[in-house]
Amino acid sequence: MSWFVQTCSSSVGKKYIMALTGFMLGGFLLVHAAGNTSIFWGRHAFNSYAEHLHSLGFLITIAELVLLTIFLLHIITGISLFLQNLGARDSRYAVQKSAGGRTWGSRTMPYTGLAILAFILMHLINFHFVDHHQPIADIVKPVLSNPLYSLFYGTAMFVLGLHVSHGFWSIFQSLGINHPKYNSLLRCISWIGCILIAGIFIAIVLLLLFSSSQLA
C-alpha cells in the first residue's frame, strides 16, 4: 500500500493521475455535449432526454458521486503540481518543456482550470440545484436566452476549449505517447477533440440566444 501512496505523491504519479482523471473528464464532456445536442431537435426531445436520465434513479446518483470524486482528484492534484512547480524553479523548467513546445493552452492551464471550476459552480446553481419538477427546457431556456448569461457561457466554453486543447495533448505526453514523427498527428487529434467539445456547447449557446422559439 505504501508504494501506492508513494507513487501517487511523486511528480510522475501526479502526472498519471492528471492524465487518467483528465481522460475521464474529457469522456464526460463528450457524453454531456452529445446528450445536450437533443436541444437541436426542440423542446420535446430535450425534455425526454432529461426525463430518461432522471429515470435511471440511483445509477445517476452513483455516476454523480464518481464524477465528483474524479473532479476533486483532478483539481487537488493539479493545484499540488502547480505549487510544486512554483516552488522548484529547476523542476519547473523540466516539467514545462514538453515535446510540443509552449502554447497558449499549456501556459494558461492552471488559470483556465480555475476559471472552469468557477463556471461549473455557477452552472450547477443554474441547472442542477433547482426545482426539477418543472421540465428541463423551462430551466435552461430563461438562462441561455439572456444575453449576459450567453456571454458568460460562451466565454467559459472558449476557455474550456483552450484547457482541453492542451489537456488532450498532455494526456498523450504523460502516457509516453510521444514521437517526433507522430507529434503533429497527436496535436491534430487534440484540436479535433477540443473543437468538437467546445464547438457543440458554443453552438447550443448561440442557438438559444438567437432562436428564442427553440425550446418554446
**Binding stretches for ligand HEM (CB under 6 A):** 29, 32, 36, 50, 53, 64, 116, 120, 123-124, 127-128, 136, 140, 153, 160, 201, 204-205
Instruction: For the CB of residue 174, give the shortest distance to ligand HEM in the complex, in Å.
Output: 21
Closer to ligand HEM by Cβ: residue 123 or 187: 123
Closer to ligand HEM by Cβ: residue 66 or 86: 66
- Cα angle, residue 131 at apex, residues 24 and 129 outer, rounded to 5°: 40
Closer to ligand HEM by Cβ: residue 17 or 137: 137
- Residues in Cβ contact with 23 at an 8 Å cutoff, skipping those fewer than 6 apart: 171
Burial of residue 78 (number of CB atoms within 10 Å: 0-12, 13-18, 19+): buried
The region that residue 176 occupies, defined by phi over 0 for left and psi between -120 and 50 for alpha, beta otherwise, is: left
Instruction: For the CB of residue 99, give the shortest distance to ligand HEM in the complex, in Å.
Output: 27
Instruction: For the CB of residue 50, give the shortest distance to ligand HEM in the complex, in Å.
Output: 5
Closer to ligand HEM by Cβ: residue 100 or 171: 171
Contact 163, 105 (CB under 8 A): yes
Instruction: For the CB of residue 198, give the shortest distance to ligand HEM in the complex, in Å.
Output: 8
Name the residue with cell 418554446: 216
Instruction: For the CB of residue 178, give the shortest distance to ligand HEM in the complex, in Å.
Output: 27
Contact 89, 95 (CB under 8 A): no
| Residue 182 identity (one-letter amino acid) | Y
Q: Cα dihedral sign for 186, 188, 191, 197? A: negative
Cell of 26: 474529457
Closer to ligand HEM by Cβ: residue 33 or 183: 33
